[in-house]
């Protein structure tokens, strides 16, 4: 009987151990290790979309900056072209002005030589109505003319010379210096591009048939007509200088003008 009881107790203990073994909780380490992997996939997808949007934004900004820079370059190129054109025009105008000044100085040198012979008296030709005048011995007349010429040659005061020559014409209308005074007024007005006044002065010179400035005045009238796009009038004056003064320096200049 005691052995039976001992067997029962032993079986009961074994059954309890079995139940304890079967009742033990299952390990959860594998489940926990898989959970982060499943959650990390959406986070990675969201991060990739953000990078793409950032790249698109950067590309758009770069394109906008490139467009702005290209527009600035185009604007600067246009300004440079305009400045280059203005510089070339200014250079041409300067060359023209220097050429006119050279011509003026050459003629002024001639007048200085003529002034040395102006002290003698030349009688008036009473057989013609053309106003020739005389080289007066009046010291005031000679001084007035010399002062006007000095304003051009020495003082380079061209505006003052114009005033002085005009006053000289009023004070001494019959002076033999009159054609030269008209001529130099024409030269000064021509250099200042006051063409209307220059035409009046050169036209006055050609009324003096014996003036040594007449041939050049015809050429100057042609130059003024050409500068004002009056081809017919310019050819007329050039041809007149050639016909009336063949072989002269003025005629040679007129031929050069016509051959252009």
Q: Are residues 193 and 219 in the same domain?
A: no
- Bridge partners (DSSP) listed for residue 175: 134
Asked, for residue 224, whether it belongs to a domain, the answer is: yes
Q: What is the mean pLDDT of the chain?
A: 76
Please identify, among 155, 171, 197, the residue that sits at the C-terminal boundary of a domain: 197
DSSP state of 245: S
Asked, for residue 207, whether it belongs to a domain, the answer is: no
Asked, for residue 58, whether it belongs to a domain, the answer is: no
Q: Are residues 173 and 238 in the same domain?
A: no
Judged against a pLDDT cut of 70, whether residue 29 lies above it is answered with no
Domains identified in the chain, total number: 2
Q: Are residues 167 and 251 in the same domain?
A: no
- Decide: 197 and 228 in contact? Cβ < 8 Å: no
Q: How far apart are the first and last CA of the chain?
A: 157
Q: Are residues 114 and 166 in the same domain?
A: yes
Q: What is the pLDDT of residues 94-151, one digit of tens each?
A: 776 666 666 666 666 655 555 544 433 333 333 333 334 445 567 888 899 999 988 9
Asked, for residue 42, whether it belongs to a domain, the answer is: no
Give the burial class of 188: count Cβ atoms within 10 A of its Cβ; 0-12 exposed, 13-18 middle, 19 or more buried: buried
Q: Are residues 175 and 241 in the same domain?
A: no
Q: Are residues 116 and 191 in the same domain?
A: yes
User: 175: domain range?
Assistant: 98-121+129-197
Judged against a pLDDT cut of 50, whether residue 184 lies above it is answered with yes
Q: Are residues 102 and 193 in the same domain?
A: yes
Per-residue confidence (pLDDT) for residue 257, from 0 to 100:
92
Q: Are residues 115 and 189 in the same domain?
A: yes
């Amino acid at each position: 009987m005691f052995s039976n009881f001992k067997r029962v107790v032993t079986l009961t203990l074994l059954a309890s151990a079995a139940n304890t073994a079967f009742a033990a909780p299952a390990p959860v380490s594998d489940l926990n290790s898989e959970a982060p992997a499943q959650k990390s996939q959406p986070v990675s997808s969201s991060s990739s979309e953000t990078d793409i949007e950032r790249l698109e934004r950067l590309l758009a900004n770069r394109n906008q900056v490139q467009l702005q820079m290209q527009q600035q370059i185009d604007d600067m190129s246009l300004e440079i072209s305009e400045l280059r054109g203005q510089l070339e025009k200014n250079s041409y105008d300067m060359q023209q002005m220097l050429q006119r000044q050279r011509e003026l100085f050459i003629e002024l040198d001639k007048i200085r030589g003529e002034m040395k012979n102006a002290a003698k008296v030349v009688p008036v030709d009473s057989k013609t109505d053309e106003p020739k005048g005389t080289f007066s011995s009046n010291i005031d007349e000679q001084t007035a003319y010399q002062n006007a010429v000095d304003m051009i040659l020495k003082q380079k005061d061209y505006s003052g010379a114009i005033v002085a020559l005009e006053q000289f014409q009023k004070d001494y209308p019959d002076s033999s210096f009159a054609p030269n005074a008209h001529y130099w007024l024409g030269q000064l007005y021509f250099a200042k591009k006051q063409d209307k006044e220059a035409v009046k002065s050169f036209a006055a010179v050609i009324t003096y048939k014996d003036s040594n400035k007449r041939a050049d005045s015809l050429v100057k009238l042609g130059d003024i007509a050409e500068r004002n796009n009056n081809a017919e009038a310019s050819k007329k004056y050039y041809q007149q200088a050639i016909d009336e003064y063949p072989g002269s320096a003025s005629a040679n200049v007129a031929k050069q003008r016509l051959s252009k």
